[in-house]
Amino acid sequence: MYQYLFQRAWVIDGTGGKGRIADIAVRDGRIVKIAPEIDADGGEVIDLKGKILCPGFIDVHSHSDISLLYENDPGSKVFQGITTEVTGNCGFSPFPLIRDREWLKRRRASLAFIDVEEVPWDWADFEGYRKRMEAAGPNVNLVPLVGHGSIRASVMGYEDKKADSGQLERMCGILEEHFRQGAAGISTGLGYPPDFYGDEEELTALARVVKKWDKIFTFHIRGERATLFKAVNEVISIGRNSGAKVHISHLKCAGVHNKGRSGELLDLIDKAAGEGVDITFDLYPYTAGSSYLGLVFPPAFHEGGMEALIERLNDPEMRGEIIRQMETGTPGWSTFIGEQQGENLMITSLALHKECIGKRISEIARRWNCSPAEAACRLMAEEKGRVEMVMFLTDEEDMDRIALHDRCLYGTDGLAMGDVKPLIRQMPHPRYYGSFPVLWNRYVGKGAFSPEELIHRLTGAAAKRFGLLERGEVREGYWADLAVIDREKFKAMGDYENPCRVSAGIEYLMVNGVLEIRDGVKTGVTGGRILE
């Protein structure tokens, strides 16, 4: 007896093969039969009348680590057709943790981009986090990475120094233990503290552990603007010297000096791949990025954590030196503020100066009668570091060239948000709600990809790259993570001014055989779990 029978579906199976009309039967969380016609055998029969049925999409770059503990059934991701999220990116995993109040306070301040203040962090490692998340019952599957930043902070705090042999051995040991517990890989955020204090030798040692366990190492690279090519070469070098699978997060040609250089960048990656480096990358389909305001401050002033940075900003003499470096840059670190004087940086989330939400830093500076760097310092200090921004960085032609490359996968680079509890971000990047329908309309709608090719990238190819077994394809015996798309209605509804609007066009969504969206409406039942 079947639990669900999807009839007359246009099945695009995630392999890249041509779509076909078929019936799909589901029982006990799995796809049990695929045939041109299947006789009804009890359960719910759903006539799709030729609508697309495909594997649920895999968001390979997500930050829903904590937001799914705040609200377990948010709509921002599932209404894009997403059934699985790779979390813990950019070094931002909420484990390992030290059960010390001051240390935990400092670490949460550094992870403000993913944090939700209402959620208590009452675990220490991946296993404890897993139990907490499974008790919450998320509406998507999670594939957590362990963050290099969290490992380094637990061993060395926020010290700006090279790891000695003992510290490096401890870091590698923590990584191995988290792999034993089921973490899917490791990530690093080389634009953030304390990750950017780790050198290539440290990262290569960790990568050798990744190779040993046949996992994946994802990189928010050390610079996406003036140091872009040097930063990509660092990842290539780590991949070459360790043999590990390496993956560059949200690849882009950012900044005024890199406009038009995407072909050169992709040639660099292709050359490395041709020489045996196992390398891929991902992208979100917007020319703007998003992060927290700390990104505009030079690395040296982050030593000691967020509280130490705020103390320095409140010291008039120190603030003067910070502003000077923010405007000119330093060796190995390029300035966000000086490049376009804050014109490309829009504030999206803070607590006190709500009048600044939706405003460019350049505009705030004019209102406050100060320089853009001074405005950023004041915001950071008075908001205690909890300031988020959207950054307009790239050119559409470069974005498209990267997106269409055959090594490219896709993510939202956002956390899941819902509509039941109060919003955890006032004005997030629209990618949180719209990345995958934007991909569909930009690349399938304009003929750059067939539906089969894009769906393969979003499903089967992503599952293979991140080591997900029995996922990513519509195949008998595989888990029933399924999305039904009305191709005429599938589109993002949000934009930069009004981002918090769920996308349209997902008629049905199933996670591990649990029907979470029926006739375009959430059922209130969730089926997500943490995958190994």
pLDDT, tens digit, 9 for 90 and up, residues 199-219: 999 999 999 999 999 999 999
Last residue of a domain, one of 342, 365, 388: 388
Residues 434 and 514 in one domain: no
pLDDT reported for residue 339 = 78
Establish if 254 belongs to a structural domain.
Answer: yes
Mean pLDDT of 75-101: 97
> What percentage of the chain reaches a pLDDT higher than 70?
100
Measure the CA dihedral 157/299/108/150, to 10°: -50
Last residue of a domain, one of 422, 447, 465: 465
pTM for the predicted model, two decimal places: 0.94
Residues 65 and 153 in one domain: yes
Q: How many CB atoms lie within 10 A of CB 278?
A: 18
Number of domains composing the chain: 3
CA distance 430 to 288: 10
| Res 19 pLDDT > 80 | yes
Q: Each residue of 218-269: pLDDT tens digit?
A: 999 999 988 999 999 999 999 999 999 999 999 999 988 899 999 999 999 9
Establish if 529 belongs to a structural domain.
Answer: no
What are the strands of the beta sheet with 288-292, ordered from one edge?
Answer: 288-292, 388-392, 345-349
CATH number for position 437: 3.20.20.140
CATH number for position 510: 2.30.40.10
pLDDT reported for residue 330 = 83
pLDDT reported for residue 434 = 98
Query: 282 pLDDT band (50/70/90 cuts)?
Result: very high
CA distance 483 to 470: 16
Q: Each residue of 338-347: pLDDT tens digit?
A: 778 889 999 9
Mean pLDDT of 391-399: 94
Residues 76 and 216 in one domain: yes
Last residue of a domain, one of 344, 365, 388: 388
| Res 332 pLDDT > 80 | no
| Residue 112 vs residues 58, 67, 109, 219, 350: alpha-carbon distances, Å | 24, 12, 5, 19, 11
Element containing residue 450 per DSSP (H, E)? none
179-190 per-residue burial string, b: 16 or more CB within 10 A, e: under 16: bebebbbbbbbb
Residues 486 and 421 in one domain: no
Residues 266 and 322 in one domain: no
| Res 89 pLDDT > 90 | yes
Establish if 222 belongs to a structural domain.
Answer: yes
**Bridge partners (DSSP) listed for residue 360:** 346
Domain span at residue 338 reads 307-388
Establish if 194 belongs to a structural domain.
Answer: yes
Establish if 440 belongs to a structural domain.
Answer: yes
Query: 41 pLDDT band (50/70/90 cuts)?
Result: confident
pLDDT reported for residue 393 = 87
Residues 45 and 64 in one domain: no
E-strand ranges in 326-387 read 345-349
| Cβ–Cβ under 8 Å, residues 425 and 417 | yes
Residues 164 and 268 in one domain: yes
Establish if 527 belongs to a structural domain.
Answer: no
pLDDT reported for residue 380 = 94
Residues 427 and 375 in one domain: no
Residues 245 and 107 in one domain: yes
Is the peptide bond between 194 and the residue preceding it cis, with omega within 30 degrees of 0? yes
pLDDT reported for residue 328 = 86
pLDDT reported for residue 237 = 98
| Res 334 pLDDT > 80 | no
Residue 337 vs residue 206, higher pLDDT: 206
3-state helix vs strand vs coil in the chain, percent to 5 = 35, 20, 45
CA geometry: angle at 180 spanning 177 and 186, to 5°? Answer: 70
Establish if 348 belongs to a structural domain.
Answer: yes
Q: In this structure, what are the phi and psi dihedrals at residue 326, rounded to the nearest 5 degrees? A: -60, -35
Mean pLDDT of 289-314: 91
Residues 49 and 63 in one domain: no
Q: Each residue of 111-157: pLDDT tens digit?
A: 988 999 999 999 999 999 999 999 999 999 999 999 999 999 999 99
Query: 335 pLDDT band (50/70/90 cuts)?
Result: confident
pLDDT reported for residue 9 = 98
Residues 231 and 283 in one domain: yes
Average pLDDT, the chain: 96
Residues 252 and 163 in one domain: yes
Establish if 528 belongs to a structural domain.
Answer: no
Q: Each residue of 468-500: pLDDT tens digit?
A: 999 999 999 999 999 999 999 999 999 998 999
Mean pLDDT of 381-386: 93
pLDDT reported for residue 225 = 87
